[in-house]
C-alpha cells in the first residue's frame, strides 16, 4: 500500500508570511496532483506535475516535483486569508489508483 505523508499536519501563520508544505512517499509517482479543499466543499485541483524536477507556478503558489518523483512541495509567498484551507497531495502510482496524502490544514490569520 502506497502512503503519502504530508507535513506539517497543521499550520497557522500571519498574513504576508511565506510557507512550504511537503508531500513524501517511499514509492515513485507517475504523476502528482495538488488540491485545495475548503469547508463544505469538495477538493479543487490546483496543479498536476509529471516530470521529475518540474516546477510550476500558479500566482503566489509554487509547486515542485522531486527529481526522483518521490516527493513534492508547495510554497506559498505572502500568504493571504483566502489561502486558508486543507491542502492535499495525490499521487498516481503504477496501479493508477489516485492515493491522497494525509493533508495539511492551513490557516492564515489576518
Partner 1 sequence: KAGVTQTPRYLIKTRGQQVTLSCSPISGHRSVSWYQQTPGQGLQFLFEYFSETQRNKGNFPGRFSGRQFSNSRSEMNVSTLELGDSALYLCASSLWTFSNQPQHFGDGTRLSIL
Minimum separation from the CB atom of position 57 to partner 1 (A): 18
Does 97 bind partner 1 (CB under 8 A)? Our answer is yes
102-to-82, 86, 108 alpha-carbon distances in Å: 21, 10, 20
- Residue 61 or residue 90: which is nearer to partner 1 going by CB? 90
Distance, in Å, from the CA atom of 8 to the CA atom of 103, rounded to the nearest integer, reads 8
Distance, in Å, from the CA atom of 77 to the CA atom of 58, rounded to the nearest integer, reads 11
Does 96 bind partner 1 (CB under 8 A)? Our answer is yes
Minimum separation from the CB atom of position 34 to partner 1 (A): 11
Q: Which of 7, 26, 30, 107 binds partner 1 (CB under 8 A)?
A: 30
Amino acid at each position: 500500500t502506497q502512503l503519502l505523508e504530508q507535513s506539517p499536519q497543521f499550520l497557522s501563520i500571519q498574513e504576508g508570511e511565506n510557507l512550504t508544505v511537503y508531500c513524501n512517499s517511499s514509492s515513485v509517482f507517475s504523476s502528482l496532483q495538488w488540491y485545495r479543499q475548503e469547508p463544505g466543499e469538495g477538493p479543487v485541483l490546483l496543479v498536476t506535475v509529471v516530470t521529475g524536477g518540474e516546477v510550476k507556478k500558479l500566482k503566489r503558489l509554487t509547486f515542485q516535483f522531486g527529481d526522483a518523483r518521490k516527493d513534492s512541495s508547495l510554497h506559498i509567498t505572502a500568504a493571504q486569508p483566502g489561502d486558508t484551507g486543507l491542502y492535499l497531495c495525490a499521487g498516481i502510482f503504477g496501479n493508477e489508483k489516485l492515493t491522497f496524502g494525509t493533508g495539511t490544514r492551513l490557516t492564515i490569520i489576518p
